[in-house]
Amino acid sequence: MISLSHVSKVFEGKRKATALEDVSLEIAKGQVVSIVGPSGSGKSTLLNLIGGLDRPTSGEIRIEGENLAELSDDDLTRVRRDKIGFVFQFFNLLPTLNCLENVALPLHLRKWPRKKIEARAKELLNLVQLDHRLEHLPDELSGGERQRVAIARALSVYPPILLADEPTGNLDTHTGQEILKLIEDLHSRLGSTILIVTHDLEVANRCFRTVSLRDGRIVEDRRR
């Protein structure tokens, strides 16, 4: 499903910073994997590379057998929008769009017919139990609700892969739990491959597999 071989990422700047060094990783379909490590260990970078938001300095990343390095920017975007859903720590909802519009955005970008979009968006918001908040703007929602909208948006095309960067990082414990439950629930229902970047061990422990990073290298790959 997801395969990384000898991936390195170096940030060129005034000071050269190596974020990832020779990382190789295989993630099978349907796995729920958590990536843990202290800040600066390269876990977000790893997620960004897998999600095609960034390109590695060296090494090869394959998503369902497709080598990301060989793709143009737009083809990379196509892989992203068809196969990958993103959930961010700060939700990254568009403040001017209401819940329905936010969720519908990726579908509009895919040029789905409008009727189908509306049906799907409602279905998704129903799935995250926000069917009563369709017309609300993100500002009018609580943190947990916002993250649920974000998850609904990430799932809009039912992508085979869901990438979540600290999905609970900006939420209180209780809401965090709810979100995790929602993710687990979605996994069991949709069978997506899920990668969660977190520094919360509790979150990590709930996953089938935990990859630990330190200074850009995998130090541990534990399966339960």
Partner 1 sequence: MMLLRLLSWPYLRRHVLRWTLTLAGIVLGVAVFVAMHTANRSIFSAFDKTIDQIAGSAQLQVSAGEFGFDESILERVQAVPEVGVAVPVIEANVETKIPGQGSILLLGIDMTGDRSLRDYELKDADDAIIDDPLVFLAQPDSVMVTKEFAERNKLEVNSRVPLLTIDGEKQFTVRGIMSSAGMTQAFGGNLAVMDIYAAQQVLGRGRRFDRIDIRAKEGITVDQCKAAVKAALGESFEVETPSARGRHFEGLLRSYSTAMTISSLFALIVGMFIIYNSFAIAVTQRRSEIGILRALGATRGQIQRLFFLESITAGFVGSALGAFAGVGMASVITTYMSTVLEQTTGFAQRVTELAIDPKLIVAGIAIGVITSIFAASIPARSAARVDPVQALQKGKYQVLSAGENRRRRRMALTVSLISVACLFLSYSKLFFYAGYVLMIVAGLLLAPALTLLLSKCLRPILKQLLPAEGTLAADSLVQAPRRTSATVSALMLSLAMVVGFGGFAHSFYTSVGEWMDNALNPDFFVSPSANLVVRAITFPASIRSVIEHVAGVDQVQLVRNARVSFRNVPVMVLAIETEKVSGTVHRMPVAGTTEEMNRLTGQGKGMMVSDSFAQIHTVRMGDIVELPTPSGLLKLPIVGIVRDYSDLQGSLLIDRSVYTKWWNDDTANVARVYVKKGEDVGVVRQRVIDALAGHHGLLVLTNREVRDWIMKLIDQWFALTYNQIAVAILVAVLGIVNTLTVSITDRRRELGVMQAVGGLRNQIRRTIWIEAFSIGVIGLVLGTALGAINLYYSLGMVKRDLGGLDLDYIFPLAFVAFMIPTILAASFIAAIGPAESAVRGSLVEALEYE
Distance CA 192, CA 161 (A): 6
Minimum Å gap between C-beta 6 and partner 1 is 21
Minimum CB distance to partner 1 smaller for 81 or for 217 = 81
Distance CA 101, CA 139 (A): 14
Minimum Å gap between C-beta 77 and partner 1 is 5
Site residues for partner 1, window 156-215 (CB under 8 A)? 156-157
Candidate residues 62, 78, 122, 209; the one interacting with partner 1 per rule CB under 8 A: 78
Distance CA 25, CA 7 (A): 9
The binding track of 28-47 with respect to partner 1, each residue x by CB under 8 A or -, is: -----------------x--
Candidate residues 1, 66, 81, 134; the one interacting with partner 1 per rule CB under 8 A: 81
* 71 in contact with partner 1 (CB under 8 A): no
Minimum Å gap between C-beta 59 and partner 1 is 17
Minimum CB distance to partner 1 smaller for 93 or for 180 = 93
Question: Where do contacts with partner 1 occur on this chain (CB under 8 A)?
Answer: 45, 48, 51, 53-54, 73-74, 77-78, 80-82, 86, 88, 90, 92-97, 101, 104-106, 108-110, 114, 117, 153-154, 156-157
